[in-house]
Structure 1
Amino acid sequence: MSQHRIGSFEFGRIIATIAIIALHCQIFMQAPLFNGQPLLGMGLNQVSRFAVPLFFIMAGYFIQPRLTTELGPYLWRYARPLLIMWVSWSIIYLILPFNFHLVATDGYFAERSLYWQKLLSTPLNTLFEGGLVHLWYIPGLLSGLAVITLLLRFNLARFIIPVATVLFIFGLMAGSYAQMTDLSSPVFTRNGPFFSTFMIMLGFEIRRRNISLSLKYSIIMMMVGFGLFIGEANYLSLQENGSFFHDFLFGTPLWALGIFFVLLAKPSLGDSKITHSLSKDVLGVYLCHLIIVIYYLNIVRILGINPIIASIFAVPVVYFVSTIIVRGLRKTPLARFLVR
């Protein structure tokens, strides 16, 4: 999540953040139903899956010049504040309760013990996530950057694309396609370097090779990638024990790249004072939003709010509250540990 101030990229980061919030809020997944299926919710869920891949591509694009020349020292300067925030938010999420009803009936420690036991049951995977599932982004980003940095450090830049591609294919074969390949991984392959390295590599190589596309071909790439992604999701859902919901598929790189090239081709897209103001909070909002989602859904259940009404208000409420929290934290001594 870069600090560069190109209007279209800042706008893209905000849209991606909103998409992530919508995904985690599970909007319209309970109602309305069409033939017993939340087709609207399922569609919005899948449409949101471009967000984190786009963040990775942007990171690779903006970090390329300094990472190439400064290597390890720059990676450490880049990683240190992110690791501090990852640890700090992990501690917060280990402490804060998630289930209001369970706390009220069984007590705080009973509710937390169940969650702690769940994390300890998969310690290696927890290491690549942290205190709450969405924090996987930071270890994923840093492990992908570390792979690329090591290859650069040992003058193996020509292997960046092959290594990233192998990791990506293995991630899919041992992840979404595992039901067909019977491959497995000790770490859930969405986490760690499997997909992040490939996405970061795309942005890295675009910047290094000065690649660009016209708006027309960028849109075509985006549509083809999304079509492939949805086609794969439908195909996999028809397999035995198959699921329609996936973070990464073979169509993901084309889809996310198409969006990236649209932003690159239209640098003034969404450029405004509001965009630049909100974009400063993107990382902080990402880190804190999921607890707001959890509490929002708790309140919805307690009050028995109609699921359609709850879905309509979920994203604006969570985004607004998260932004207020981030800006409030920035005014406290805790800022260096929790926000940028």
Structure 2
Amino acid sequence: MKRNQSIELLRLISIFFIVIIHSTFAAHSGIARDAIAMDALARFAVPIFFMITGYFILQPNYTRIKFKKQIIKLTKYYIFYEFIYILYYFIIALLENKLPTFESDFITNMKYILIDPKFGFQLWYLINIIWALMIIYIFNYFNKLKILFIISIILNLIGVFISNLSMQLFHTILPIYMTRNFLLLGLFYIILGTYIRKVDINKIKFNNNIILAFSIFMCLSQVVERYLWRILFNSTFEEYFITTIFASISIFIFTLKSNVNNKIIEKISSYSMPIYFLHILVIDILGSLSFHILHININVIRANWVGNITFVIVVCIFSCILYDISKKMLQLLFVKVIKPVKVTAQLNFKSL
């Protein structure tokens, strides 16, 4: 199926904002308000990723076999990249003589690996999708997706409120896996994407400029809502908001109504998921290299907005490079080592 290039562009924009969130944009410049505002503004990015998954997953020709294959594919991605992060942090612990710390972190990681991993923490997104898709598969099999959608809306709103009001309700800050999980976050946005696919975009009479203006307004409203949760309820969660729902929907509809025709976008967008999987690794590597080899604190370079933007772009570029290098190494390993061994084993078996 030919992908909508407008959605591919939205995917690129979303991953850029995700890197902004994880790189603690502007936090190192001493302008905390800017950091808080930018972080809140970017919160539509992960829900958009969920919605894109939902938009493509339940196509009219999407069979149960394809559905199962998608879940298996995502599970393989998760296992592979989780292994990469565990291996990386093990090597770092070995070099820095911090194996006891690694052992403790590893135990924690394995305890929550099916909900919210410690190593490669951004991979919680994959876990969300895998669990959510299994639930959607069951409800779709019994033709009860509408009921699940209603349930997911309620669960998402519950998630927003209990995460922001955890101190008032439970007298403690809830762990992230209890508030940012597939039931309270991923499930709703994935199903939302499937239902947006059923909407006839051409029947939406609003001018695209109006939709864009509303999208920007709702993104800015996330910033306002974050401050309100903090001021009125002393909330420290500050991740997803009620306004995020409207920001995500309006951005997605604006994207579908837009006509983007650029072959380069589709090619570059193929790096969106590799950037997501690898950007945390790249951020850590860049920080370590700048400190230990160049003897430069990278946060000094990021002491202003230009430095922060530059850093985010560099992280994205290096993530792409790392992905290409890893891909070529795996291909070389398969051609030079695995395939010859496999052929030899088959010949030996036939000779028996």
Could you tell me whether the CA contact under 8 Å between 1:103 and 1:110 is conserved in 2?
no
Please, which of 27, 30, 54 is the counterpart of residue 29 of structure 1?
27
Residue 303 (structure 2) pairs with residue 308 (structure 1): yes
- State the distance in 2 between where 1:200 and 1:325 align: 29
- State the distance in 2 between where 1:55 and 1:186 align: 19
- State the distance in 2 between where 1:295 and 1:334 align: 24
- State the distance in 2 between where 1:188 and 1:277 align: 37
3-state SS of 2:116 partner:
coil
Greater radius of gyration (CA): 2
* Corresponding position of 1:156: 144
Deviations 1:164-207 (A, max 9, x none): 11221222233233233339689432122321111111111111
Could you tell me whether the CA contact under 8 Å between 1:233 and 1:246 is conserved in 2?
yes
* Structure 2 counterparts to residues 114-129 of structure 1, below 5 A: 114-119=104-109, 123=111, 125-129=112-116
- State the distance in 2 between where 1:91 and 1:98 align: 10
Could you tell me whether the CA contact under 8 Å between 2:282 and 2:315 is conserved in 1?
yes
* Corresponding position of 1:218: 211
Residues 44, 103 of structure 1: CA spacing in aligned structure 2 closer, same or farther, 3 A cutoff? farther
Residue 314 (structure 2) pairs with residue 317 (structure 1): yes
* Corresponding position of 2:238: 246
Deviation at 1:47, TM superposition (A): 1.7
* Corresponding position of 2:193: 203
* Corresponding position of 1:94: 86
- State the distance in 2 between where 1:17 and 1:163 align: 28
Residues 99, 80 of structure 1: CA spacing in aligned structure 2 closer, same or farther, 3 A cutoff? closer
Please, which of 8, 13, 38 is the counterpart of residue 10 of structure 1?
8
- State the distance in 1 between where 2:150 and 2:129 align: 18
Could you tell me whether the CA contact under 8 Å between 2:218 and 2:244 is conserved in 1?
yes
Residue 228 (structure 2) pairs with residue 235 (structure 1): yes
Please, which of 255, 262, 265 is the counterpart of residue 272 of structure 1?
262
- State the distance in 1 between where 2:267 and 2:333 align: 19
* Corresponding position of 1:167: 155
TM-score (norm 1): 0.83
- State the distance in 2 between where 1:27 and 1:185 align: 23
Deviations 1:101-135 (A, max 9, x none): x766x515245224224435xx2x43223332100
Please, which of 63, 67, 71 is the counterpart of residue 57 of structure 2?
63
TM-score (norm 2): 0.81
Deviation at 1:159, TM superposition (A): 0.5
Which segments of 5 or more consecutive residues in structure 2 lack a partner in the other structure? 335-352
Deviation at 1:288, TM superposition (A): 1.1
Could you tell me whether the CA contact under 8 Å between 1:281 and 1:327 is conserved in 2?
no
3-state SS of 1:96 partner:
helix
Residues 85, 260 of structure 1: CA spacing in aligned structure 2 closer, same or farther, 3 A cutoff? same
Deviation at 1:95, TM superposition (A): 1.7
Please, which of 32, 39, 61 is the counterpart of residue 33 of structure 2?
39
Could you tell me whether the CA contact under 8 Å between 2:165 and 2:235 is conserved in 1?
no
Could you tell me whether the CA contact under 8 Å between 2:226 and 2:238 is conserved in 1?
yes
Could you tell me whether the CA contact under 8 Å between 1:176 and 1:246 is conserved in 2?
yes
Could you tell me whether the CA contact under 8 Å between 2:57 and 2:67 is conserved in 1?
no
Which segments of 5 or more consecutive residues in structure 1 lack a partner in the other structure? none
Could you tell me whether the CA contact under 8 Å between 1:173 and 1:181 is conserved in 2?
no
Deviations 1:262-313 (A, max 9, x none): 1111031xx4233122111111111111110112233445523414265343
* Corresponding position of 2:282: 292
Could you tell me whether the CA contact under 8 Å between 2:201 and 2:257 is conserved in 1?
no
Residue 170 (structure 2) pairs with residue 176 (structure 1): no
* Corresponding position of 1:147: 135
Residues 108, 272 of structure 1: CA spacing in aligned structure 2 closer, same or farther, 3 A cutoff? farther
259-268 vs 173-182, greater mean Cα deviation? 173-182
Could you tell me whether the CA contact under 8 Å between 1:228 and 1:250 is conserved in 2?
no
Could you tell me whether the CA contact under 8 Å between 1:141 and 1:193 is conserved in 2?
no
Identity %: 20
- Size of the alignment, in residue pairs? 321
The amino acid that maps onto 1:219 is L
Could you tell me whether the CA contact under 8 Å between 2:5 and 2:262 is conserved in 1?
yes
- State the distance in 1 between where 2:89 and 2:109 align: 14
85-94 vs 125-134, greater mean Cα deviation? 125-134
Residues 329, 304 of structure 1: CA spacing in aligned structure 2 closer, same or farther, 3 A cutoff? closer
Could you tell me whether the CA contact under 8 Å between 2:71 and 2:134 is conserved in 1?
no
The amino acid that maps onto 1:135 is L
Deviation at 1:226, TM superposition (A): 2.4
- State the distance in 2 between where 1:98 and 1:44 align: 33
Whose helix fraction is larger, Structure 1's or Structure 2's? Answer: 2
